[in-house]
Amino acid sequence: MTTELVPEQILPKVMTTFGLTAAYVFIICWITGSSVMAGGGWTAIPMWVLGILTFLVPAGMAVVELGNLWPGQGGVYIWATRTMGETWGFIGGYLSWVPVILNAASSPAIVLQLLLLAFHAEIGLTASIILQLVILWTVIGLALAKLAANQKIMNIVFVVYGVLTLTIFVSGLLFAVNNGSATPFSWAEATIPNFAVAGFLYGTVLLYLLGVETPYNMGAEFLSVRKSGPKMILWGSAALVAIYLLTTLGTMMALPGDQIDPVTGVISMLDVAGFPGLMEIGAVVLAFIVIVALMTYQVAYSRLIFVSGLERHLPRIFTHLNPRTRNPVSAILIQGVISSLILVGLYSQSSMANVTVYLQGGLSTVWLLSGFFFLVPVIVARKRYADRYANEEFWRIPGGMAGVWITVIVGSLATVAGIYYSFVTPWIDVPQATWMTWVGCISLGMFALGLTVYVFGRRSARKVSQDDALAHLAVFDLTKTEAEEPTT
Domains of the chain: 15-474 (1.20.1740.10)
**Secondary structure (3-state) at 400:** helix
Whole-angstrom distance, CA of residue 34 vs CA of residue 39: 8
CB 284 within 8 Å of CB 119: no
Q: Could you give the dihedral angle defined by the CA atoms of residues 39, 40, 43 and 49, in that order, rounded to the nearest 10 degrees?
A: -70
Whole-angstrom distance, CA of residue 412 vs CA of residue 407: 8
Whole-angstrom distance, CA of residue 285 vs CA of residue 279: 10
Whole-angstrom distance, CA of residue 485 vs CA of residue 359: 39
Could you count the other beta carbons within 10 Å of the beta carbon of residue 307? 34
Instruction: Please report the sign of the dihedral spanned by the C-alpha atoms of residue 173, residue 175, residue 176, residue 181.
Output: negative
Long-range contacts of residues 315-320, Cβ cutoff 8 Å, at least 24 apart: 315/457, 315/460, 315/461, 315/464, 316/461, 316/464, 316/468, 316/469, 316/472, 319/469, 319/470, 319/472, 319/473, 320/472
The whole-model pTM stands at 0.88
* pLDDT in single tens digits along all 488 residues of the chain: 777 777 777 788 888 999 999 999 999 998 888 998 998 899 999 999 999 999 999 999 999 999 999 988 888 889 999 999 888 888 888 888 888 888 888 889 889 999 999 999 988 888 988 999 999 999 999 999 988 899 999 999 999 999 999 999 999 999 999 999 999 998 988 888 888 777 888 888 988 998 899 999 888 888 888 888 999 999 999 999 999 999 999 999 999 988 998 888 999 999 999 899 999 999 999 999 999 999 999 999 998 888 887 877 777 777 788 888 888 888 899 999 999 988 888 766 556 667 777 877 888 888 888 889 999 999 999 999 999 999 988 899 999 999 999 999 999 999 999 888 888 888 777 888 988 998 888 888 888 888 887 787 777 666 666 555 554 554 555 444 444 444 44
Single-letter amino acid, residue 23: A
Whole-angstrom distance, CA of residue 484 vs CA of residue 233: 24
**Secondary structure (3-state) at 4:** helix
Could you count the other beta carbons within 10 Å of the beta carbon of residue 214? 27
CB 247 within 8 Å of CB 39: no
